[in-house]
Structure 1
């Protein structure tokens, strides 16, 4: 194991002494040591629940015979910083998060990584760090926020932005704007449309760096805790199997990720993030790929901001497996490895599509014949 460098042999007694000071037993020191990277912060709803999720991840690691080693990183939230000087920090924060994951994991010779992420730049940052390190690991998205409600109508952060415009145009007064503001975001989770966070969560699942279906589960859903517990178990298995991040990141899996983001009318930020992940993994993936993919990929996801539905609606409809299954049947994606040990096609072999759902459409009902 990589961690043997810091814990094996008589000369490592000082390091073991310090590990014992953290509460580790001799048995725990001997086990695979798994980084649990926590981008928790109470500056944003996107990440404010990750401290709780981390406990379930760590419990899963322990149950599988590993030793979790938790440390924190940062988050800068676009939804708060947009329109201010703070927005200059947003994209740069991606590099800081990736660097911090790499530095602590490499600096302590840890055997694997689980990156818990939320607001949008933390998601590609986790993938970039895994690609650099090329060790066992996965990225777990904390999940989407649920919609708010005003006068019996579901509303989201998008409605707040639109209300700002309506107020500026004199269509609503400040009291009405405040009512929208107070009711749009009911609790934990990232912005619920197919904005950058949900787009990249979908992309990383398709890329193979997140277990199928886990990122789909909304932040406050009761199934989230059990799902991330299983992720903790799986990363220990990855260490024992020798599966590493670059096993998943290939030209084929990157094309798959770009195809899925196109099919769901996802954020154009996925272009710069997927290119960055490819570069860290040493894969020659060019920006021209996105144009070629968009020309052959219809939009089948009726998701906000352009469409009607939110990420929790997609989860209820059948989630990422449903989207990929439709693309598989159309011959638009390739079979590639995933962190679960099963292939992408195997993961999508059993799709639970909710009868009558209108979130993910068949190709003959596509909203557009090609992406943007």
Structure 2
């Protein structure tokens, strides 16, 4: 612990600041200081309840003999920016959150961290911060939202799209709005928020069995106090992320993500964690386990159930038990024991939500890497959310230089069954920020075209989405990838079972087009988006602002 930082004459100016903030001399000098970064934000159900959780965490820290120091970190709700150009800030937000935690922690010299987050790139950024700082760290999740009830049916936020595009009148839409999100917590499907909450347990950053406790269940507060207490124990023991997150632990997280059909954004995050820790991890690792691990999780959009159902069906630990024969179990767990020892205490519960490997929900993996001349460095699809009718497609390209242009064409009836939409210059550098394509994809789903139209992009897409949607195409258009050379009318093949996405254009013709291609100027001339575009790694390396050289990357 860093008690020397707070003792001696040199530390007088530090102590006086803490005393002026209300802390006692004994607490300041003798006890471990635990930072409590809180992503509370009043404008989102995923974060508006985090003050109460933070209080429980701090109570636990005090009870265990630590000193909690709470501070705020940025938080947004991706749904607020749904359809807006500002959605491209969300991916950049992961790095901003990580830097915010890094900044405050380094200045205040915390002995450990107990971070509080729920949603999307915020919780992903907290994990990244833990690995960068490499001090004893944990994350307390905000849990999932209860599903809504509307007209006798269970509904989630994504169900609004069908109503929006079906011509529902304003009164009916308002009625649905009032019922679709009835509690605090992350939207209860396998979107990025819940995917990343779950992965925290696998990564030894979230207390086992706690990540998916619904926000409305008071067990969330009880476990938050336990987490605060354990944060102090971790700080005293000096148990750091670099000791708890080995390459095998990261590979377990890939297997878990395949099994639960997690958000495709998890690929970016897991890759960035490997890079941060100096562990060699590539898309080839995802390809390997896509051939071995089928989807066993029946949560929306792969099945009819919600994350609340998932939690009460056994949650993350039940999935890990189902995967036990595939996992690396002789690896550290959060409590200082191995995963083998932890899983020995878990009784498998095969049920309608969480299936077994022997009787999976689908024979396909939850994620798959596609390659071909359109994406030689890899692209990503979620096969369990793709209808049989469009798992293999050959169609004519309709090319758009952004999400809104494609959306307007869909709305105008210019997209017909059999078309393959190509949306480019929305990648890490092109957007910049790797935008989620909520406008065009929501329109396809809402108009029922997701069963007959394909979409290929260098952008991301939401964990809520389903259909023949292929994202993360790399190299991206801004870097001169072949997606920049596609022309209207080019024939494109999407072969999800075969793992291919290609355009049927000769190499000679592509070279001719490349000679004429001119890289466009950056869309953002200043601010964090400009900095991100200049500092980020490509999507197949995680897309984070990690500009340090490749020689420094793989240390273990």
Q: State whether TM-score is above 0.5.
A: yes
Question: Using a 3 Å threshold, how does the CA distance of structure 1 residues 335 and 160 change in structure 2: closer, same or farther?
Answer: farther
Answer 1 or 2: which has greater helix percent: 1
Deviation string for 1:75-126 (max 9, x for gaps)?
1221221210220211111111100101101111110001101111111111
User: Partner of 2:109 in structure 1?
Assistant: 109
Whole-angstrom distance in 1 between the partners of 2:353 and 2:16: 55
User: Partner of 1:128 in structure 2?
Assistant: 128
Whole-angstrom distance in 2 between the partners of 1:228 and 1:326: 27
Question: Using a 3 Å threshold, how does the CA distance of structure 1 residues 26 and 150 change in structure 2: closer, same or farther?
Answer: same
User: Partner of 1:345 in structure 2?
Assistant: 340
Are 1:76 and 1:89, in contact at CA under 8 Å, matched by a contact in 2? no
Structure 1 unaligned residues grouped into runs of 5+: none
Are 2:57 and 2:224, in contact at CA under 8 Å, matched by a contact in 1? yes
- Matching of residue 16 in structure 1 with residue 12 in structure 2: no
Work out which of the residue numbers 225, 230, 234 in structure 1 matches 2:226. Answer: 230
Whole-angstrom distance in 1 between the partners of 2:102 and 2:4: 18
Q: Which has the higher contact order (CA 8 A, sep 6+)?
A: 1
Whole-angstrom distance in 2 between the partners of 1:162 and 1:141: 30
- TM-score for the superposition, normalised by structure 1: 0.95
Question: Using a 3 Å threshold, how does the CA distance of structure 1 residues 332 and 240 change in structure 2: closer, same or farther?
Answer: closer
How far the C-alpha of 1:241 sits from its partner, in A, is 1.1
2:120 counterpart SS class? coil
User: Partner of 2:48 in structure 1?
Assistant: 48
Deviation string for 1:298-343 (max 9, x for gaps)?
1100110121111110111111111000000x32443322322232
- Matching of residue 360 in structure 1 with residue 359 in structure 2: no
2:206 counterpart SS class? coil
Whole-angstrom distance in 1 between the partners of 2:85 and 2:343: 43
Whole-angstrom distance in 2 between the partners of 1:45 and 1:342: 35
Are 1:142 and 1:189, in contact at CA under 8 Å, matched by a contact in 2? yes
2:125 counterpart SS class? helix
Whole-angstrom distance in 2 between the partners of 1:239 and 1:132: 16
Are 1:202 and 1:261, in contact at CA under 8 Å, matched by a contact in 2? no
Whole-angstrom distance in 1 between the partners of 2:44 and 2:302: 24
Work out which of the residue numbers 154, 164, 173 in structure 1 matches 2:169. Answer: 173
How far the C-alpha of 1:353 sits from its partner, in A, is 5.7
User: Partner of 1:152 in structure 2?
Assistant: 152
User: Partner of 2:459 in structure 1?
Assistant: none
- Matching of residue 307 in structure 1 with residue 303 in structure 2: yes
Deviation string for 1:29-57 (max 9, x for gaps)?
02000000100001111011111100000
Q: How many residue pairs were aligned?
A: 365
How far the C-alpha of 1:140 sits from its partner, in A, is 1.6
Moved more, 336-345 or 201-210: 336-345
- Matching of residue 267 in structure 1 with residue 266 in structure 2: no
Whole-angstrom distance in 1 between the partners of 2:177 and 2:328: 40
User: Partner of 2:79 in structure 1?
Assistant: 79
Question: Using a 3 Å threshold, how does the CA distance of structure 1 residues 20 and 294 change in structure 2: closer, same or farther?
Answer: same
Whole-angstrom distance in 1 between the partners of 2:18 and 2:119: 32
- TM-score for the superposition, normalised by structure 2: 0.64
Question: Using a 3 Å threshold, how does the CA distance of structure 1 residues 335 and 219 change in structure 2: closer, same or farther?
Answer: farther
> RMSD in angstroms over aligned alpha carbons?
1.5
Whole-angstrom distance in 1 between the partners of 2:224 and 2:4: 27
User: Partner of 2:211 in structure 1?
Assistant: 215
Question: Using a 3 Å threshold, how does the CA distance of structure 1 residues 333 and 195 change in structure 2: closer, same or farther?
Answer: farther
Of structures 1 and 2, the larger Rg is shown by: 2
Moved more, 337-346 or 78-87: 337-346
User: Partner of 1:253 in structure 2?
Assistant: 249
2:358 counterpart SS class? helix
